[in-house]
Amino acid sequence: QKEVEQDPGPLSVPEGAIVSLNCTYSNSAFQYFMWYRQYSRKGPELLMYTYSSGNKEDGRFTAQVDKSSKYISLFIRDSQPSDSATYLCAMSARDDKIIFGKGTRLHILP
């Protein structure tokens, strides 16, 4: 079983819809969780950073962590065509390297 699993997509949704992106993981020691956005031919850009379980909201973005289920989610409200990108989840244990998911390609249709 891979440490981090993420559906590669592509996921296509109409503009204005709520988008849900998810990752599952197997290492119960993970306690730092991140979401990165990567536009085509660009470097990944940090979107959200959360520690342990719970929700974190930043504008149209909400990150959720459920450590009991080893499941994390990123919700995008009022999705825009500019949100079209690849979204990578990432996580790490304390004092350890970050493990990235392979990314989900998201297309927002105007």
Partner 1 sequence: DSGVTQTPKHLITATGQRVTLRCSPRSGDLSVYWYQQSLDQGLQFLIQYYNGEERAKGNILERFSAQQFPDLHSELNLSSLELGDSALYFCASSPRQEGTQYFGPGTRLTVL
Per CB under 8 A, residues contacting partner 1 are: 32, 34, 36, 41-46, 49, 88, 92, 94-103
User: What is the radius of gyration, based on Cα positions, of the chain?
Assistant: 13
Instruction: Please state the closest distance from residue 76 (CB atom) to partner 1, in A.
Output: 20
How far is Cα 97 from Cα 66, in angstroms, rounded to an integer? 21
Instruction: Please state the closest distance from residue 54 (CB atom) to partner 1, in A.
Output: 18
Find where tokens 């949100």 sit: 83
Instruction: Please state the closest distance from residue 110 (CB atom) to partner 1, in A.
Output: 26
Alpha carbon distance, N-terminus to C-terminus of the chain: 37
- Looking at beta carbons only, is 6 or 79 nearer to partner 1? 6
